[in-house]
Amino acid sequence: MTLSNLLYIKTGDIDPYDKEYGYFSEKDRLETLDSVRKTFTFGYDSYMKYAYPSDELNPIFCEGRGPDYEDPSNININDVLGDYMLTLVDTLDTLAIMGNVTEFKRAVQLVIDNLSFDKPSTVQVFEVTIRIIGSLLSTHLIITDQEQPFGDLKPTDYNNELLMLANDIASRLLPAFENTATGIPFPRVKLDQGVPEDCINETCTSGAGSLVMEFGVLSRLTGDPIYESYARRAVKRLWEYRSNITGLLGNVINIQTGQWKGQMSGLGAGLDSFYEYLLKTYILFGENEDYKMFKEMYDSIKFHMRRGRLKCNKGDGNPPIYVNVNMKTGETVNHWVDSLQAAWTAVQVLNGDIDEAICSHALYYSIWKKYGVLPERYNWYLRVPEVTFYPLRPELIESTYFLYQATKNPFYLHVGRDILNNLNNYTHAECGYATIHDVNDKTKEDRMESFFLSETCKYLYLLFDKDNHLNKAESRYVFNTEGHVFPIDDRFRRKPWETEGAESEAPSTVLSVVNVKKNSTFSNCETVSDEQKFFMPMKSPYYQQMKSAVGIGD
């Protein structure tokens, strides 16, 4: 019996959206998977041909890009680029996950032989941590995995060189945590000197409070507690400075006084990964305090930021949306959402809040459908972009992948193919994939950020590769905020610097990450219904309402 027959039996009629999105053939899946691989390969090969060992590829003029040493104030470039082969390092575990054994081994050897951090580059602590340290640790763990689930990826005579490189650059970041009255780190360091003399005393919440995953893994692999202790101290201090009225945090804080310089609270830039890491560090390390903080923050966010009807797929009223508010009052402070907030859906999935995740995702996919790509900032009241560029960000496809893993609904395969097609139609350049300068006219900028290969292509590939180990192992891995994978492993539930026999706070059950259908650890996990598996995850009238809300059809 065909799917259409089953739909007819259950509904008496076939909804147009169910007809469009209710089925994705095996042939389509395999063709799309092949297309993702070709997209990645074109971007990666172009980087290696035209840009390596520079940090990034300029895909229009086919050349490399590194730090802007002539203009130290150009933090849009210098916060990320440190003359450390960024794109190659950031892409290592993508090569592994895609099963490119030969190129993976070659790339690892290039990193071992050539990577040095003894550079006069001033970089952002957060970006270095999630991209460089995250990838080095993830790749080290893949190489040293005795089961080698992605293929025989261990280079000849590998001797923990990637772990040592991670330790090297992390040690160069430690001065950021010193000479700060609150314990919240400075935002930047100069790799060969420490904190620059002119470094500001202000940092964003996510930048200071999203370091525990990488620093914690490094501490537990090396036995040196300093990394995790510094990172956790920063989180605890930020937590202490939250509003005693709303429980919310602001987005910019003075690291010497603890005074909030930016009092906007939201789910996007400046705050996003702080919430994400409270949940993910609990999943990875099993420390109950992390989940306690996350749960309290999650409840505060729902109470103060959420607008619209009570349920995603039930009732009357405007579509649900999470808005930016004043941290002290919960009052709406502006009418925009940014593209980084699209990752909140994945956090909702991890927390088992599937119906809410479906609605959050539908908002951002509707904006994508309107423009073909996702503007950096979108005014939901005026229904226009406020910041018009799209730098190949992965957050929407990340959330699409997580929702598909949770529901197996073919709708999300259609979404993924739509995103892939638009990337190829609008961002394909002479030798790579380019940032969209303006979503209205699709003009391009000459930059391909490293996260395009490390995250955007990775999540697209995993969405369509149903036999990938990460999917077949029922997600016994957790991704950092740059898409690097860490195994949920008993060795990360122990602190080797503590005395043997000391009681651990870790739960006896190792948590599944996105397999919410079987995860009974969280009491708020929803069961995924048959309707959410086979019909439109957001009921058609509500989906049409969401599209109308962003101006599709105007």
* Residues forming the active site: 127, 272, 376, 395
Q: What sections of 12-143 are H helices per DSSP?
A: 16-21, 26-46, 75-78, 86-97, 101-114, 125-127, 134-143
Give the chain's end-to-end CA distance (angstroms, integer).
40
Q: Which stretch of DSSP H or E encloses residue 222?
A: helix 212-222
Q: Which stretch of DSSP H or E encloses residue 508?
A: none
CA distances from 122 to 117, 180, 208, 211, 255 (A): 11, 18, 16, 18, 19
Cα–Cα dist 471/463, whole Å:
9
Q: Which residues contact 26 (CB under 8 A, 6 or more apart)?
A: none
The two structure tokens encoding residue 163: 């772990």
Residue among 322, 292, 287 at smallest CA distance from 307: 322
Place of tokens 């941290």: 327
Cα–Cα dist 344/251, whole Å:
16
Strands (E), 383-532: 384-387, 428-429, 432-433, 435-438, 443-445, 477-479, 485-487
Please list, residue by residue across 328-342, b when 16 or more beta carbons sit within 10 angstroms of its beta carbon and e when fewer do.
eebeebeebbbbbbb
DSSP track, 400-436:
HHHHHHHH--THHHHHHHHHHHHIIIIIEETTEE-EE
Residue among 150, 33, 163, 22 at smallest CA distance from 537: 22
Residue type, 251: N
Strands (E), 186-255: 188-190, 202-204, 252-254
Asked if residue 151 lies in contact with residue 101, where contact means CB atoms within 8 angstroms, the answer is yes
Residue among 66, 96, 30 at smallest CA distance from 453: 96
The DSSP code for 50 is I
Cβ burial of 235 (10 Å; 0-12, 13-18, 19+) is buried
Q: Using omega within 30 degrees of 0 as the cis cutoff, is the peptide bond preceding 537 cis?
A: no
345 is annotated as contributing to ligand binding: no
CA distances from 161 to 116, 136, 155, 220, 481 (A): 12, 9, 11, 17, 23
Label the pairing between strands 435-438 and 432-433: unpaired
**Residues of the binding site for Ca(2+):** 481
**Residues of the binding site:** 481
